[in-house]
Amino acid sequence: MLILCISFCYRDQIVEMFDHAYGSYMKYAYPADELMPLSCRGRVRGLEPNRGDIDDSLGKFSLTLVDTLDTLVVLNKLDEFEDAVRRTLRDVRLDNDVVVSVFETNIRVLGGLLGAHVMADMLRQRGERMQWYRDELLHMAKELGHRLLPAFNTSSGLPYPRVNLRYGVLNPLSRTGTESDTCTACAGTMILEFAALSRLSGEAVFEEHARKALDVLWEKRQRGSDLVGTVINIHNGDWVRRDSGVGAGIDSYYEYLMKAYILLGDNVYLERFNTHYSAIMKYISQPPLLLNVHMHNPTVSVRSWMDSLLAFFPGLQVLRGDLKPAIETHEMLYQVTKQHKFLPEAFTTEFRVHWGQHPLRPEFAESTYYLYKATGDPYYLRVGQSIVEKLNAHARVPCGFAAVQDVRTGTHEDRMDSFFLAEMFKYLYLLFSEKNQLHFDIDDYIFTTEAHLLPVSLSTSQPPCRGNNTEAPTAVEEDLFTYSCPSTQTLFPNNPSFAKTIRDSYKYLTGVGRAFHASPDRGIELPLHDHGMEPVEFLRSMGISLTPLNEHSIVPLAHEGVYRVKLVAEVTQTPEEEVVPLIVQLISPPYLGRMVLTAGPAKFGMDLIKQEHGVKGSIVKTSPYTACGPIENAQELSGHIALALRGDCMFAAKARRLQEAGAIGVIFIDHREGSNSAETPLFQMVGDGGPTADITIPLVFLFSQEGALLTSALEDHSNVDVLMLPKERQLGKRGGLWSSGQSNIMLPTEDQGSITASMLPAVLQFACLLICRQQSK
């Protein structure tokens, strides 16, 4: 019930977000290639300052419109799709005198035209609409394919990275053709679109060229490691950059080997993929990290940071059937998004920002979609919710959605790439949709790297490429899923919570989960992130008692969240204490006990377990919010329950200040964004190492999501009364209170009359609407 309601809410919200983004492009930018969402105008190449390689995706062919066409069908916007197809046929020209990226034009424009043709043909065959359509999009795709073919005129068969749409490569007017290098992904990400074009048009030349490029990359792999480099010379096939990973420069080469097998049914692609995959898992995968290595010496990592494009890899691992490392890496990425709101363009192995940009990339949402469909674990719906909420909170602007220039400051960039509409909304919408809610069977299609839809029926309905001269692959060790799809029951028999078991190992990865390193002065460097536990609290929770050597026992280092502790530590084995859950129950109108928030206790202060009726009071926000300095609103706090933010000083220090200000209780709220009681174990707040008998008021702790609900209630209603008490003594527990974790709805019970079958749909719809309203606050 709750999952259905959440999906109902977020699916509608995603459609509204898409309407805002697509509508802004059509209103302010079309027929330009892209929208500039801060300027509320279109980006026309040559009229705006040159951005270098980024602009190579712009070809004066209404890029965003073409890239978005099949997204309209996925979101069931069939009228808009038909209108957009007519616009494309009327307005889009492909013979412009513009130098474009072969890779970007292939995946965005050729893929967009093919995906839209497949959707238009499907609708036409159903007889529902598009009866006027006569394969015009396919004809445009074929024209574009011929305009890209001159790029393959090299001695090796690897394509030039750029081509002039009108003049090709070697023509004196082309202004290109002098390049000698291309990236592995640039050469190896052609086969899906080119093979589909060949099989739909009957012209084999496209598939033959794409396959030749893949043959060269396979031939040039490092035979000892079975890895490939990042940049290769297109004339002689020598490697220019020999670092090997799964992120930028290589990523979609691996993706297209696997997906070419799915789309085309040719075992050669799968065998090559399996060979590379074994090498990746042997050398590059260091769960949950994916680190670049030297292709000739793969035991050596070549850099200490990762780029955000590798976020696609867990989704590819799902297709491979290797769910455990997919879950591990995805969880690591999720923790990074919790820390920085979005995935930075690059981040270090210690999860600090390396490059702060976030151009609204969809790869993390893509992997989230695949993991949810593979596991059915509602955890991944919550991850999807966080993506939606952060986009609305931190990227939405009046004219669309703007890329984030630096995740540390939240500043925007005047940019909304076409892939945001082509991919992000597609994956988010599908994440919250069941198969029977879609206009077609999504399992009949494979996603390209730009999330365009190609029918898997191409493997049987059309002949394969002629002249397959691929050499036999090297033998690799096979596993259960080398040639079959994943089965969670086979991987994790009788364990429906297998994904959670794997994730729990990485829950605190960006906080207190990193390894300890000895410092040069024989101290201990503790990776206590600035929004993890306070240092002494963390050590005491581990059973370590401290004897300070001087007044500077804990010294912050230059690195954020790392402290050097100089101390004599006595490690004692302490028995695990059971944490008794408490609650904060909102009892004033309009809540009347229907909102119940799970809270953690403290090891000091009033013991709420011994208070028969709990502690009741009105809540007031502390100023300063952290309560680490003199309390500025002591008069307002007196006689009320204080809300205070975790961090900057010890819990005990905060409690003393607030008790002295007259507060009758304190609710501490976690400052780690996204934390919640459903995913994070409750813990007991500890003191500061000294006596705490002087603290006599009750203290509870809320994770940030529960805290956000409480502060939102306070913003909506000037007076909010709450009860702080043990969870087992919650008011109204016997009266049919149904808790959703974020909203609570009182349904009729046996005392009030039962719900009949005829009433159930209306009740469920009403419940969903209430949850939607609560979550939108």
* Residues with Cβ within 8 Å of residue 756, at least 6 apart in sequence: none
Element housing 114 (H / E): helix 111-126
Rounded Cα gap, residues 54 and 44, in angstroms: 13
Instruction: Tell me 519's DSSP state.
Output: -
Rounded Cα gap, residues 124 and 130, in angstroms: 5
- CA-nearest of 534, 550, 552, 542 to 646 is 534
- CA-nearest of 337, 262, 349, 263 to 302 is 349
- CA-nearest of 532, 484, 475, 750 to 648 is 532
Q: Which two tokens stand for residue 569?
A: 């530590």
Report yes or no: 695 and 605 within 8 Å, Cβ to Cβ: yes
* Residues with Cβ within 8 Å of residue 759, at least 6 apart in sequence: none
- CA-nearest of 220, 221, 223, 242 to 231 is 242
Report yes or no: 591 and 609 within 8 Å, Cβ to Cβ: no
> Phi and psi of 187, rounded to 5°?
-85, -30
* 3 state SS for 710-758: HHHHHHHCCCCEEEEEEHHHCCCCCCCEEECCCCEEECCCCCCCCCCCC
Cα dist from 151 to 170, 378, 389, whole Å: 9, 46, 42
Pairing of strands 181-183, 353-355: unpaired
Q: Which two tokens stand for residue 689?
A: 């190492």
Question: What are the helix (H) ranges across 313-437?
Answer: 313-320, 323-340, 363-375, 379-394, 418-419, 425-431
Query: Helix (H) and strand (E) counts for the chain?
Result: 25, 36
Report yes or no: 584 and 702 within 8 Å, Cβ to Cβ: yes
Annotated binding residues, written as ranges, equal: 449
Strand ranges in 470-534 using DSSP code E only, listed in sequence order: 517-518, 524-526
Element housing 42 (H / E): strand 41-43
Annotated binding residues for Ca(2+), written as ranges, equal: 449
Rounded Cα gap, residues 735 and 321, in angstroms: 46
Hunting for tokens 């909203």 — which residue is that? 743
Cis peptide before 493 (omega within 30 of 0): no
Q: What are the catalytic residues?
A: 104, 251, 345, 363
Rounded Cα gap, residues 164 and 148, in angstroms: 8
> Phi and psi of 301, rounded to 5°?
-75, 135
**CA 699 to chain CA mean position, Å:** 35
- CA-nearest of 93, 95, 103 to 66 is 93
Report yes or no: 248 and 241 within 8 Å, Cβ to Cβ: no
Q: What angle do the packed helices 251-264 and 191-201 form, to 10 degrees?
A: 30
Report yes or no: 321 and 486 within 8 Å, Cβ to Cβ: yes
- CA-nearest of 294, 266, 262 to 279 is 294
CB atoms within 10 A of CB 736: 14
Report yes or no: 345 and 356 within 8 Å, Cβ to Cβ: yes
Rounded Cα gap, residues 348 and 340, in angstroms: 13
Q: Which two tokens stand for residue 414?
A: 């005047």
Instruction: Tell me 155's DSSP state.
Output: S
Strand ranges in 487-559 using DSSP code E only, listed in sequence order: 517-518, 524-526, 544-548, 554-556
DSSP per-residue codes, 190-243: -HHHHHHHHHHHS-THHHHHHHHHHHHHHHTSBTTTTB--SEEETTT--EEE-E
